[in-house]
């Protein structure tokens, strides 16, 4: 089986000397069996097996969630388990990991690793490259950036920020600031969207500390509402599923709102299979019932809400009867859920990506969920939102990388308009320019990923000239790859650094080989708990494959070549690490020598303490009038992020660009709704589809379909199907699932990686491939006007495909 | 009475994350695309929207009275006296597949080297009686391991039962 149609990277490489050299260097024939290692104490004690710590990278590069112990035998990494010292998942003693974490070795030894810097020799997209040296590539990149800075201004450089990525959030941002560009192209598919909405609705001093609706003391919660939240996929080993199952055993009631009954939804008391993209209508109907039936906390509303009467009047029109045909949820169930939320206390809401950033009504959906939590009196109470236990302080105090925010120049326009430095120059603001401050943003100004890429085509307000993509595949990380490909073809200069040849590499001028977390010792992390504090730095599990280099070093090297060396430790990454450890009481050598990390036990007997409850003055201090914004005075009646209109001060429901209730004419030809899971437990966004242990569980791109619907179209379980929207078409394998509505299909994006060990192909990102993003609308005018969230739902028709694979 | 180790599978806690399956493979050196000593199964019942899903992770049951051992003409399968773990001696296995047909749970699988199945990780260095890797890695503690008496105490008060009322006396409790 090979990837059909186009010349693939592998096919291309086979024609060069690179492949032979690659195999020789990695020494990993693809069919080699993993050797069992005597990993018991005997093997370790005899010195046959070496055990070293690494932060697991399977939730994304440069993550420090789960500390793992890597077992190395005869120089080869054979096995991995959770580090019981670190306090992963349920705490100290936990050796657990997720499926991805258990398969991590494959990432290091993947046959698809990029091993050398490559320079494009053919047309963009043609896939013709030749090997070059690091010096040649880095000199060319530095020269181009300096030339473009001179000719078009530093703002013409933008960097792709996929999911949260520590290299980019620290070093990448520092580079942008020193270079002088604000164009950190944030995905707009991120936790940040929820943070913005929570911040402007229920307060919090700043971005990362926005008031939370999730219960901070689950053991005291009576009702948990899980809304578009997917921790059995996105954070399997990070405590949430474990803690929730414990609480359920002790009587916690759970309402789970999402289109597919995934693992944890199967444990809920009530499952609400909302039609994808319509959660906003559901949220407004819940508010309608809670306010209309007087189920709110009058004391709280009178003292701590601003504009409640306006909200109450406005929300009258959004009845369950209105929401039912939009959401596909029966009127009675909307009443039932609203009444339960309005009466069972303490109640907390886990707000997930699904409703915050995966639909174009993201802001108002999250804002309404926040308002439900607030007006029912569930904020700041034990078992409710915004009232987490306060952990005793970390015993090891390290510093973050200083982002040198002050280096980003303030333009005349910034000054005149009172903006944060750099904001006027944003090519496609993710949130409105006037809104962006160091308190509202994660690490500085942000442009929305998709909007930034589109500037290349529209040249409005100006085109980006250079994009750096690090561990991000723009043909899968955002909507409408057809448009993204068009933009990449037109882009002056595109540089990619990745461990694998992602599908956008064919459009790059230079492709640089990144090493994995497991081949570099340049990142540490800490985990703090009542027991004590754990700190560990990545150990080198293997020397970097081929000529691959660390993502951290890329920035230092480039900075030195561009004359920014003084701001980048003159290229010395150890100096950067020492700066972060300064004052922690632990030096770099000590940390590197600690093979399994260092645990500092808490000896002062300090315990987690209860927070100050109902501390509303403090909780809402950053909000206008110091109150919950039922009528939003912070963002309401102010320009949207594109300056094309005003943001409503009260909840609005627009619906996806194409939907059953919203566009019945389109629904006539395309009767089914499709969406895809944001995070999934067998991949990291579109990556790791090449990992054999994960791919064998799901070999082909899938679409879940209710059997009744499938039979209507003569589709058997396992058939290849053609799925068409008005924007494009994909092919996938139909998988029957009873726990999905008959008019809904759910899928998983990505699939560009082949799995050579299992002889399974990768799939294209254009029409006829399997990248679901090709189906969705991507008109910027349809994006969320406050936070640029894009719809990830559309209408499709489906038919059996005779020749699939 | 001799010790008998076994598994406890709490379906109320299993979320079908597949960590156990992958952990089993990496620790036992099983190549992808071949066999799986442990599998997560799913039972879906009802019709939309009244659907329930249950997930069950299963491997060899290390039966008290293993049918596989009884039928093996080569004497390759034995039940260890000290811990009740049922093991295969691949040197002796002739690959006749009698054990597959005898096992009420369809556990035995075959590779080039003979019959293959769970040995509670004692073959990869775990001390008999200690947690096998599938159990150690389970992020929700849905899968547990221990001496059958301890497991019985653990499930007291739950609607749990020893796997089927099979004549082979499986050493697995499911709730």
Tens of pLDDT along B105-124? 999 999 999 999 999 999 99
Q: Is the ipTM of this complex over 0.90?
A: yes
Q: Which of the residues B32, B39, B136 would you substitute to probe the A interface, choosing the one with the greatest number of A C-beta atoms within 10 Å?
A: B32
* pLDDT tens string B51-94: 999 999 999 999 999 999 999 999 999 999 999 999 999 999 99
Mean pLDDT within A723-734: 98
Cis geometry, peptide bond prior to residue A559 (ω within 30 degrees of 0): no
Q: Measured between CB atoms, does A305 come within 8 Å of chain B?
A: no
- Tell me, yes or no, whether A516 lies in a domain: no
Q: Would you state the pLDDT for residue A805?
A: 56
Inspect the interface and report whether the beta carbons of A36 and B51 lie closer than 8 Å. Answer: no
Q: Would you state the pLDDT for residue A164?
A: 85
- Tell me, yes or no, whether A413 lies in a domain: no
If asked whether residues A224 and A273 sit together in one domain, one would say yes
Q: Would you state the pLDDT for residue A33?
A: 38
- Tell me, yes or no, whether A268 lies in a domain: yes
Inspect the interface and report whether the beta carbons of B48 and A742 lie closer than 8 Å. Answer: yes
Average pLDDT over chain A, rounded to whole? 94
If asked whether residues A625 and A710 sit together in one domain, one would say no
Tell me the CATH number at B160: 3.30.70.20
Element (H, E) at A256: strand A253-257
Q: Would you state the pLDDT for residue A13?
A: 30
If asked whether residues A324 and A377 sit together in one domain, one would say yes
Q: Would you state the pLDDT for residue B27?
A: 96
* pLDDT tens string A642-685: 999 999 999 999 999 999 999 999 999 999 999 999 999 999 99
Give the lowest-confidence range in A24-38, A91-105, A483-497, A768-782: A24-38
From chain A residues 686-715, the ones with a CB under 8 A of any chain B CB are 692-697, 706, 708
Q: Is the distance from CB of A243 to CB of A91 less than 8 angstroms?
A: no
Q: Which of the residues B20, B26, B56 would you substitute to probe the A interface, choosing the one with the greatest number of A C-beta atoms within 10 Å?
A: B26
* pLDDT tens string A585-619: 999 999 999 999 999 999 999 999 999 999 999 99
Query: Is residue A223 over pLDDT 80?
Result: yes
From chain A residues 662-691, the ones with a CB under 8 A of any chain B CB are 681-682
Copy the structure tokens of residue A13: 């490489």
Domain that holds residue A776: 664-800
* pLDDT tens string A156-203: 999 999 788 999 999 999 999 999 999 999 998 999 999 999 999 999
The rounded percent of chain A whose pLDDT value lies above 70 is 94
Q: How many domains does chain B have?
A: 1
Q: Is the distance from CB of A507 to CB of A494 less than 8 angstroms?
A: yes
If asked whether residues A722 and A624 sit together in one domain, one would say no
If asked whether residues A285 and A377 sit together in one domain, one would say yes
Give the C-alpha separation, A505 to A487, whole Å: 14
* pLDDT tens string A322-339: 999 999 999 999 999 999
Mean pLDDT within A99-122: 97
pTM check: above 0.90: yes
Q: Which of the residues B10, B116, B132, B140 would you substitute to probe the A interface, choosing the one with the greatest number of A C-beta atoms within 10 Å?
A: B140
Q: Measured between CB atoms, does B42 come within 8 Å of chain A?
A: no
Query: Is residue A300 over pLDDT 60?
Result: yes
Mean pLDDT within A410-415: 97
If asked whether residues A244 and A306 sit together in one domain, one would say yes
Q: Measured between CB atoms, does B28 come within 8 Å of chain A?
A: yes
Mean pLDDT within A513-528: 97
- Tell me, yes or no, whether A4 lies in a domain: no
If asked whether residues A623 and A718 sit together in one domain, one would say no
- Burial state string for A546-561 with b = 16 or more CB within 10 A and e = fewer than 16: bbbbbbbbbbbbbbbb
Tell me the CATH number at A787: 2.40.40.20
Q: Would you state the pLDDT for residue A9?
A: 34
Q: Would you state the pLDDT for residue A271?
A: 98
Minimal C-alpha gap between B116 and chain A (Å):
14
Domain that holds residue B108: 5-174
DSSP result, chain B: ----EEEEE-TTT-----HHHHHHHHHHTPPTTS--SSEEEEEEEEETTEEEEEEEEE-----SS-HHHHH-TT--EEE-TTT--EEE-TTT-----HHHHH-TT---EEETTEEE---TTGGGTPPTTSPPHHHHH-TTS-EEEEEHHHHHHHTTTSS-EESTT-TT--SEEE-
If asked whether residues A705 and A622 sit together in one domain, one would say no
Element (H, E) at A415: helix A412-417
Q: How many domains does chain A have?
A: 2
Q: Would you state the pLDDT for residue B167?
A: 84
Domain boundary among A579, A604, A629: A629
The rounded percent of chain A whose pLDDT value lies above 90 is 93
Inspect the interface and report whether the beta carbons of B29 and A35 lie closer than 8 Å. Answer: yes
Q: Is the distance from CB of A38 to CB of A48 less than 8 angstroms?
A: yes
pLDDT higher at A479 or A27: A479
Query: Is residue A1 over pLDDT 50?
Result: no
Q: Name the pLDDT band for A5 (thresholds 50, 70, 90).
A: very low
Minimal C-alpha gap between B52 and chain A (Å):
6
Chain A residues whose CB is inside 8 A of the B140 CB are: 241-242, 245
Mean pLDDT within A72-85: 96
Query: Is residue A380 over pLDDT 60?
Result: yes
Tell me the CATH number at A241: 3.40.228.10
Chain B residues whose CB is inside 8 A of the A756 CB are: none
If asked whether residues A712 and A625 sit together in one domain, one would say no
Give the C-alpha separation, A215 to A223, whole Å: 10
What are the C-alpha distances in Å from A17 to residues A131, A435, A500, A661, B84? Answer: 9, 53, 18, 57, 55
Query: Is residue A11 over pLDDT 50?
Result: no
Q: Would you state the pLDDT for residue B164?
A: 55
Nearest to A760 by CA among A676, A694, A682: A694
Average pLDDT over chain B, rounded to whole? 94
From chain B residues 102-121, the ones with a CB under 8 A of any chain A CB are none
* pLDDT tens string A342-373: 999 999 999 999 999 999 999 999 999 999 99
Q: Measured between CB atoms, does B79 come within 8 Å of chain A?
A: no
Inspect the interface and report whether the beta carbons of B15 and A273 lie closer than 8 Å. Answer: no
Q: Name the pLDDT band for A269 (thresholds 50, 70, 90).
A: very high
Domain boundary among A576, A603, A629: A629
If asked whether residues A625 and A690 sit together in one domain, one would say no
Inspect the interface and report whether the beta carbons of B29 and A36 lie closer than 8 Å. Answer: yes
Query: Is residue A250 over pLDDT 70?
Result: yes
Q: Is the distance from CB of A664 to CB of A803 less than 8 angstroms?
A: no
Give the C-alpha separation, A323 to A700, whole Å: 36
Residue of A nearest to B56 (CA): A263
If asked whether residues A794 and A727 sit together in one domain, one would say yes
Mean pLDDT within A424-447: 97
* pLDDT tens string A557-569: 999 999 999 999 9
């Amino acid at each position: 089986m090979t990837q059909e149609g186009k010349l693939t990277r592998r096919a291309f490489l086979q024609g060069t000397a690179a492949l032979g050299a690659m195999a020789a260097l990695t020494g990993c024939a693809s069919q080699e069996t993993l050797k069992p290692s005597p990993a018991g104490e005997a093997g370790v004690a005899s010195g046959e097996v070496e055990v070293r710590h690494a932060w697991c990278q399977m939730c994304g590069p440069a993550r420090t969630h789960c500390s793992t112990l890597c077992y190395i035998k005869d120089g080869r990494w054979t096995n991995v388990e959770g580090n019981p010292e670190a306090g992963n998942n349920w705490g100290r003693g936990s050796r657990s990991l997720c499926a991805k974490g258990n398969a991590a070795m494959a990432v290091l030894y993947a046959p698809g690793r990029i091993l050398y810097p490559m320079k494009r020799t053919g047309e963009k997209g043609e896939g013709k490259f030749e090997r070059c040296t690091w010096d040649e590539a880095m000199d060319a990149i530095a020269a181009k950036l300096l030339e473009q800075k001179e000719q078009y201004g530093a703002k013409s450089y933008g960097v792709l920020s996929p999911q949260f990525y520590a290299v980019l959030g620290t070093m990448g941002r520092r580079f942008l600031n020193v270079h002088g560009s604000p164009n950190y192209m944030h995905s707009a598919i991120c936790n940040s969207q929820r943070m913005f909405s929570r911040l402007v609705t229920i307060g919090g001093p700043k971005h990362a500390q926005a008031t939370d609706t999730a219960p901070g003391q689950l053991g005291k919660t009576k009702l948990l509402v899980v809304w578009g939240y997917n921790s059995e996929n996105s954070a399997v080993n990070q405590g949430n599923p474990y803690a929730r199952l414990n609480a359920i055993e002790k009587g916690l009631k759970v309402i789970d709102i999402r289109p597919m009954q995934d693992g944890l939804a199967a444990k809920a008391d009530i499952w609400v299979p909302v039609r994808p993209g319509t959660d906003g209508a559901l949220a407004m109907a819940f508010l309608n019932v809670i306010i209309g039936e007087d189920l709110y906390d009058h004391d709280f509303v009178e003292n701590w809400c601003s504009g409640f009467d306006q909200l109450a009047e406005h929300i009258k029109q959004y009845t369950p009867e209105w929401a039912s045909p939009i959401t596909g949820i029966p009127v009675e169930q909307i009443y039932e859920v609203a009444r339960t939320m309005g009466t069972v206390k303490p109640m907390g809401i886990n707000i997930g990506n699904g409703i915050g950033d995966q639909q174009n009504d993201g802001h108002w959906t999250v804002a309404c969920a926040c308002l439900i939590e607030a007006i029912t009196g569930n904020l700041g109470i034990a078992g409710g939102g915004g009232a987490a236990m306060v952990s005793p302080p970390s015993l090891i105090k390290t510093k973050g990388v200083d982002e040198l925010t002050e280096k980003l120049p303030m333009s005349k326009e910034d000054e005149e308009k009172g903006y944060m430095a750099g904001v006027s120059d944003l090519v496609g603001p993710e949130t409105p320019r006037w809104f962006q401050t160091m308190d509202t943003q994660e690490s500085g100004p942000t442009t929305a990923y998709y909007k930034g890429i589109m500037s290349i085509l529209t040249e409005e307000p100006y085109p980006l000239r250079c994009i750096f993509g690090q561990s991000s595949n723009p043909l899968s990380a955002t909507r409408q790859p057809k448009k993204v490909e068009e933009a990449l073809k037109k882009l002056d200069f595109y540089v990619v650094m990745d461990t694998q040849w992602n599908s956008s590499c064919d459009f790059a001028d230079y492709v640089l080989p990144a090493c994995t977390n497991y081949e570099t010792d340049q990142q540490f992390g800490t985990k703090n708990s009542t027991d004590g504090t754990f700190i560990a730095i990545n150990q080198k599990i293997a020397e970097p494959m081929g000529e691959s280099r660390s993502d951290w070093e890329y920035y230092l090297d480039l900075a030195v070549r561009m004359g920014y060396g003084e701001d980048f430790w003159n290229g010395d990454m150890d100096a950067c690490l020492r700066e972060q450890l300064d004052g922690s009481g632990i030096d770099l050598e000590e940390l590197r020598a600690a093979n399994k990390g260092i645990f500092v036990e808490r000896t002062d007997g300090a315990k987690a303490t209860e927070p100050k409850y109902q501390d509303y003055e403090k909780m809402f201090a950053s909000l206008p009038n110091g109150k919950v914004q039922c009528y939003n005075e912070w963002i309401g009646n102010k320009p949207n992020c594109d300056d094309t209109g005003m943001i409503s001060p009260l909840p609005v429901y627009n619906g996806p660009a194409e939907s059953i209730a919203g566009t019945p004419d389109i629904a006539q030809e395309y009767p089914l709704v499709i969406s895809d899971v944001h995070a999934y437990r067998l991949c990291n966004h579109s990556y790791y589809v090449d990992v054999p242990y994960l791919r064998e569980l799901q070999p082909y791109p899938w679409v879940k379909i209710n059997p009744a619907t499938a039979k209507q179209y003569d589709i058997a379980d396992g058939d290849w199907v053609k799925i068409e929207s008005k924007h494009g078409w994909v092919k996938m394998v139909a998988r029957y699932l009873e726990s999905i509505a008959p008019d809904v299909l759910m899928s998983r994006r990505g699939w560009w990686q082949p799995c050579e060990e299992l002889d399974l192909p990768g799939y294209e990102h254009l029409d006829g491939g399997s990248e679901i993003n090709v189906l969705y609308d991507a008109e910027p005018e349809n994006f969320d006007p406050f936070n640029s969230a894009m719809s990830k739902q559309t209408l499709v028709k489906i038919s059996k495909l005779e020749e699939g694979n | 009475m001799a010790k008998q180790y076994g598994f406890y599978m709490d379906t109320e806690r299993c979320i079908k994350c597949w960590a156990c399956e992958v952990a089993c493979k990496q620790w036992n050196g099983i190549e992808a695309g071949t066999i799986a000593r442990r599998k997560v199964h799913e039972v879906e019942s009802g019709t939309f929207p009244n659907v329930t899903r249950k997930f069950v992770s299963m491997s060899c049951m290390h039966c008290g009275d293993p049918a596989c051992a009884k039928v093996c003409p080569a004497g390759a399968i034995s039940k260890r006296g000290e811990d009740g773990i049922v093991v295969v001696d691949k040197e002796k296995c002739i690959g006749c597949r009698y054990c597959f047909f005898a096992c009420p749970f369809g556990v035995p699988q075959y590779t080039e080297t003979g019959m293959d199945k769970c040995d509670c990780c004692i073959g990869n260095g775990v001390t008999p009686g200690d947690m096998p890797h599938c159990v150690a890695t389970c992020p929700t503690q849905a899968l547990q391991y221990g001496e059958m008496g301890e497991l019985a105490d653990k499930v007291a008060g739950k609607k749990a039962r020893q796997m089927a009322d099979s004549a082979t006396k499986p050493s697995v409790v499911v709730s």
